[in-house]
Amino acid sequence: MVHEWALAEAVLATASRAAGGKIVKSLKVVLGELQNVDVEILRFAISELKRGTDLEAAEVEFEVEPAVFKCEVCGTEWRLDDALLNDREREAIHFVPELAHAFLKCTSCGSPDFRVVKGRGVWIKELVSNG
């Protein structure tokens, strides 16, 4: 996804809906590495946006899941660090991670046909609320 502020809005809206009006004490958010999210900006955005909401007092913890890709042709697995990406490509992937399919190729056979095994998406892994 998403720019950090958009992501912050999305996380808070989802957590609030899941809590069903209860006060949220803590949240654990997993960030796929492919999203290339700046955790500090996200932390700041959430702290700003949660003021005056059911999540105001919530402790928010982040976990980054490393990205792993697997070639559909030769089966090679590789990680984002193994790929050579310029700044423009990283930025594009930051906004729409599927654009990895435009810029990455198998590090072994060069095929553009691969799947993202891990490290994409953002999800709330854990939510603790009062009551």
The residues of the shown chain that bind another protein, judged by CB under 8 A, are: 1-3, 5-7, 9-11, 13-15, 17-18, 92, 95-99, 101-103, 112-113, 115-116, 120-124, 127
Question: Bridge partners of 123?
Answer: 30
As given in the structure block, the two tokens for residue 63 are: 């976990």
As given in the structure block, the two tokens for residue 65 are: 């899941």
Question: Bridge partners of 114?
Answer: 71
**What one-character DSSP code corresponds to residue 26?**
E
Question: Which of 124, 110, 96 minimizes the C-alpha distance to 26?
Answer: 124
